[in-house]
Amino acid sequence: MARKSTLLPEVAVVESIRQETPNIKTFRVVSPGGGKPFEHIPGQCAMLSTPPVGEAIFSITSSPTEKEHLDFSIVQTGTVTNYLHEIEEGFEIGIRGPLGNGFPVEEVKGKDLLFIGGGIGLAPLRSFINYCFDNREDYGKIDILYGARTPDDMIQKKDLFELWPQQPNTDVYLTVDKECEGWDGKVALAPHYCEELAFTPENKVTVTCGPPIMIKFVLEALDRMGFTPDQVITTLELRMKCGVGKCGRCNIGEKYVCIDGPVFTYAQLLEMPPEY
Partner 1 sequence: MKKVQKEKLEDLFERLAGDGVLYLPLEEDGVVNFAPWKKGARVNLEALNTVLPPKRAIFPQTETYMRFETDGKKLQIEQVEPVEGNYFLFGVRPCDMAGIKVLDKVFLDEPEDDIYSRRRQAGTILSLGCNDPHVSCFCSAFDLEPGFAPDADVALWDVGEVLLWKPLSEKGEKLTSSVEDLLEDASAEEERAAEEQRNSAAATVAAAAREHGWNVEGVEEALQDMFEAELWDKLYRRCLGCGICTYICPTCHCFDVEDFGKWQEGERFRCWDSCMFEEFTLHASGENPRPTQKERVRQRFMHKLCYYPSNFEGLYACVGCGRCVRQCPVSIDITQVIKEVGGVKSGS
Ligand X SMILES: Cc1cc2nc3c(=O)[nH]c(=O)nc-3n(C[C@H](O)[C@H](O)[C@H](O)COP(=O)(O)OP(=O)(O)OC[C@H]3O[C@@H](n4cnc5c(N)ncnc54)[C@H](O)[C@@H]3O)c2cc1C
- Nearest to partner 1 of 91, 183 (CB atom): 91
User: How far is it between the farthest Cα atoms of the chain?
Assistant: 60
The answer to whether residue 253 forms part of the interface with partner 1 (CB under 8 A) is yes
Question: In the bound complex, what is the minimum distance in angstroms from residue 126's beta carbon to ligand X?
Answer: 10
Residue 225: phi, psi to the nearest 5? -85, 0
Are residues 252 and 238 in contact, defined by beta-carbon separation less than 8 angstroms?
yes
The answer to whether residue 120 forms part of the interface with ligand X (CB under 6 A) is yes
Whole-number Cα distances in Å, 104 to 96, 112, 133, 231, 273: 22, 14, 16, 12, 23
Interface with ligand X (CB under 6 A), residue total 21
User: What's the CA gap between 134 and 153, in Å, rounded?
Assistant: 27
Considering only residues 87, 197, 225, 238, which one is a binding residue for ligand X as defined by CB under 6 A? 238
Question: In the bound complex, what is the minimum distance in angstroms from residue 179's beta carbon to ligand X?
Answer: 27
- Nearest to partner 1 of 15, 20 (CB atom): 15
The answer to whether residue 19 forms part of the interface with ligand X (CB under 6 A) is no
The answer to whether residue 56 forms part of the interface with ligand X (CB under 6 A) is yes
Are residues 63 and 163 in contact, defined by beta-carbon separation less than 8 angstroms?
no
Hey, what amino acid is at 258? C
Are residues 203 and 175 in contact, defined by beta-carbon separation less than 8 angstroms?
no
Considering only residues 10, 150, 247, 276, which one is a binding residue for ligand FES as defined by CB under 6 A? 247
Helices H / strands E in the chain, number of each? 8, 15
The answer to whether residue 248 forms part of the interface with ligand FES (CB under 6 A) is yes
**Contact positions toward ligand FES, by CB under 6 A?**
240-243, 245-250, 256, 258
**Contact positions toward ligand X, by CB under 6 A?**
45, 54, 56-59, 73-75, 77-81, 120, 123, 237-240, 262
